[in-house]
Amino acid sequence: MIVLMATFISLCASISSKICASAALCRNAPGHMQILYPCNNTIEAVVGSKLEITCRVLSELHTVGILVYWLANHTYIEDYSKNNRVKEHKTERRGHEKSYLEVTLSFSQVERKDFEVIFSCVMLSEKLDQERFISINPVVSNGDSQIAIAVAVVASIILISMIIYKLLKFKSPQTYVIFN
């Protein structure tokens, strides 16, 4: 019974930790010039699929003199992907009081070697230099997570029926006494 409960709890923990990891939030100081995303996190991708990762930088009114670019394992993207499989493109959005600089890293096809690389977005400016990291993990195959969920469901059904059985067993002598 205890073993079963322990397995059940650890299964739940392993499923929810994945959800927690993907929903990891950046603790950004509000309002300041900084890299808003990425935040030293990981994302998942499938080999052969397209992928875009946007580095989002919050700046003050003007974006003059702010340099934002990506690195792959500390080398420039042009050197990491000489055949243009991975490219950067920049956009700028001017808001009322703030501006955003966005540099998107786009993969025409994710390759296995991307999983071993640490990508980082670098922001250089007069006031502040910042670097934030992101890595790509292969997607856990759908089959695996479905099996994990199925096992968890079966385990909880067994657990609940055992609890009900114990409760009934505990109650039955009392009813017996009453009817005697």
Ligand X SMILES: *[C@@H]1O[C@H](CO)[C@@H](O)[C@H](O)[C@H]1NC(C)=O
Q: 129 to 148, contacts with ligand X by CB under 6 A?
A: 132-133
Given candidates 52, 97, 116, 126, which one binds ligand X under the rule CB under 6 A?
A: 116
Residue 116 CB, nearest distance to ligand X (Å)?
4
Q: What are the structure tokens assigned to 87, written together?
A: 């490219």
Given candidates 10, 14, 17, 40, which one binds ligand X under the rule CB under 6 A?
A: 40
Among residues 53, 59, 76, 67, which one has the least CA distance to residue 134?
A: 53
Nearer to ligand X, 26 or 154 (CB): 26
- Among 86-94, 97-105, 111-119, 169-177, the segment contacting ligand X (CB under 6 A): 111-119
117 contributes a contact to ligand X by CB under 6 A: yes
Distance CA 111, CA 138 (A): 10
Q: Residue 7: which H helix or E strand, with range?
A: helix 2-22
> What is the gyration radius of the CA atoms in the chain, in angstroms?
26
